[in-house]
Structure 1
Amino acid sequence: MSGLGRARKSISVSGEALVRVAPLSGGTRMVVCTPTVARLDAREWLAGSGSMLKRLRDEHGAVLLRGFSPLDADGFAELATAMGGDLLDYNNRSTPRTRVSGKVFTSTEYPADQTIPLHNEMSYTDSWPGTLFFACMIPATDGGETPFADSARIYDRVPAATRDRFEQRGVMYVRNFGNGMDLSWQEAFQTEDRGDVDAYCREHGIQAEWLGGDRLRTRHVVQATVVSRTSERKVWFNQAHLFHVSSLPAGVEQVMRESFAEDELPRNAMYGDGSPLDPADLAGIRAAYAAEEITFPWQTGDVVVIDNEQFAHGRRPYSGKRSTLVAMT
């Protein structure tokens, strides 16, 4: 039995009567759903509430399910599949993750003392998940929050001149695999076959260049913004600020620049025409994200459902053991 071995609670009344919906905090569209009965299983509530959770996701962009019976990895996969359909695998990876069960993964496995900047999942590609699911298995002793931010509000905050430059030129992501400083191409593309990599890159419009040894350089020009399929609002949707070498701590950035030529950095971002990003543009983008950040402490059993186009997410540094699972549809 998934869901930590607890029997599911049978629902005989309206699914909408079994939860309370309230704003997570002032000034944000994000809402929190809490059950009105003890030990309610979120899967059974979802089955009995029709399209309620989908409506909340579409309208508010992000929904926190809190106070339901905790789910294990298999139960979490059942919940995500029941709402969003078949789970997605994680290909063209940019961060290290571990497959926990089926297509449920750990959240990004960066060192605990590092911040993961706010971003929309896989917005560095031409194909991304529509919905993300996060499940808190073990909250950190201190810190470790997953901040969220409204992508339309970020778009509105980014200076107009910066928006114009990015929308006109797009973003070029340059990655160099095989230098031992980042993911290998084998891990990123989940294959040992160079032919598979070439085929994937052709399909997605990625320029791939095999270098000496086991090295691969890719260049991919994609969108800076999109119109959300659900809200129909224009949203900021790229990872230029995260991929750019200036996202690293100052000392690390200096070492990287001294160690690698501009086109040999493990990862970097440019305007779509290949010209360097303006530091003032990056500063304005990061300020927009910071101004819209929403945070709350994780509790065991929490599940967050977000529309990946409407909301960005990240991770704060933490201490102690922390376990957060991710699924994508």
Structure 2
Amino acid sequence: MSDTTTITSTPVTSTAWSPLVIRPEGGPTGAEGVRDRLAALGDPGDLLAREKALVFRDFDVPEEDVETVMDLLLPNRLGYLHGTSPRTQLGGNLYTSTEYPQHMTIAMHSELSYSHQWPERLFFYCATTPGGGGATPVADGARWLAALDAEVRKAFAGGIRYTQNLHDGMGLGRSWRQTFETDDRDEVEAFLKAGEFTWHWDTDGGLRMTSPVRPATVRHPVTGTEVWFNQADHFHPAALGDETARELAQILPPEELPQSVTFADGSPIPDAYILHIHDRGLETAVDVDWRKGDLMVIDNVATAHGRRPYTGDRRVLVAMSG
């Protein structure tokens, strides 16, 4: 896919922010050590609002104690309702991280920013150290916004609309049952009504849904800082790469893709804008490397996250909270 729009702007060359790294400081490790350090540092909510992301190193938290640590950091754990990424639910609203092939980069995004409800915090736990690579990049959403060309920021100021085609069990992408973690259509429709979606059920049992206009930016509920907060590039075929986009275009017309996005008025978003957004997000990010037993919690509005390619094994678990 291509268009004639081009974006030229100065590359991002400096790092103005990074997560706060917390270590045992000679105290106990494991879940007890995390508890003690949090007690010394003050209210976790205040700390997270100030620092945007917290990385817990050298605590060597065993996997059997993950629930205990989540109770400290996630006050109201949520399911992955309306999620688009392939994951495995492990119980207790704990999931594997996105199960995309290990050679792929997962671009920056704030979780569920395309929906009408999203988690305030995300929790990550490294259960298996990657063989190589596999960092979780984290980006300051305000800095990502500032790094975008003025033309792009202006174009997105009116908001965007997301469309999803969710099959009933066979097809590209996720089914509506996987997306909403239910077999009950009434539950799905209650969610869609609450989010002011338009939708219809297809004769083959699939679901087509379009969001109302969603903002491209939001203001953080505590700090008031404006941040880039959408997943336009994840819903747009240009971000899949030219070869994949061409293959999809041969199989399905744009309106039948598993997911797509337009400007608020229904007009197409230029490929160049999407690639610019994608690249700027990764350029502004700070990589958080993983070792077994490490933890991270991020403010899902203040920051975006992704995944770098990796080799060997990598097992990172994820949970979310309101």
What TM-score comes out, normalization by structure 2 length?
A: 0.89
Whichever residue aligns with residue 48 of structure 2, its letter is R
> What is the match of residue 108 of structure 2?
118
C-alpha displacement of 1:43: 4.2
Give the paired residue count: 303
State the alpha-carbon separation in 2 of the partners of residues 217 and 72 from structure 1. 39
> What is the match of residue 192 of structure 2?
201
> What is the match of residue 163 of structure 1?
153
State the alpha-carbon separation in 2 of the partners of residues 218 and 54 from structure 1. 35
C-alpha displacement of 1:164: 2.2
State the alpha-carbon separation in 1 of the partners of residues 189 and 281 from structure 2. 35
State the alpha-carbon separation in 1 of the partners of residues 185 and 76 from structure 2. 28
> Unaligned 5+ residue runs, structure 1?
1-24
C-alpha displacement of 1:231: 2.5
What TM-score comes out, normalization by structure 1 length?
A: 0.87
Given candidates 232, 239, 243, the residue that maps to 2:231 is 239
Asked whether the equivalents of residues 172 and 219 of structure 1 are also in contact (C-alpha less than 8 Å), the reply is yes
1:228-281 deviation line (CA, Å, top 9, x unaligned):
113321000000011101111321110101111111011111112211002232
C-alpha displacement of 1:48: 3.0
State the alpha-carbon separation in 1 of the partners of residues 281 and 128 from structure 2. 27
Three-state SS of the structure 1 residue aligned to 2:113 is coil
> Unaligned 5+ residue runs, structure 2?
1-13
Whichever residue aligns with residue 184 of structure 2, its letter is D
Whether 1:91 aligns to 2:81 is yes
> What is the match of residue 67 of structure 1?
58
- Bigger shift: residues 245-254 or 32-41: 32-41
State the alpha-carbon separation in 1 of the partners of residues 47 and 77 from structure 2. 20
Whichever residue aligns with residue 72 of structure 2, its letter is A
RMSD: 1.8
Whether 1:283 aligns to 2:282 is no
1:84-130 deviation line (CA, Å, top 9, x unaligned):
31211111121111122311111111121222111001101111111
Three-state SS of the structure 2 residue aligned to 1:290 is helix
Aligned 1:15-34 pairs, distance under 5 A: 27-34=16-23
Whether 1:292 aligns to 2:281 is no
1:148-189 deviation line (CA, Å, top 9, x unaligned):
111000111112232122121x12111111161100111101
Residue identity (%): 32
Asked whether the equivalents of residues 94 and 319 of structure 2 are also in contact (C-alpha less than 8 Å), the reply is yes
State the alpha-carbon separation in 1 of the partners of residues 224 and 295 from structure 2. 25
State the alpha-carbon separation in 2 of the partners of residues 207 and 26 from structure 1. 41
State the alpha-carbon separation in 2 of the partners of residues 279 and 38 from structure 1. 51
> What is the match of residue 44 of structure 1?
35
C-alpha displacement of 1:132: 0.8
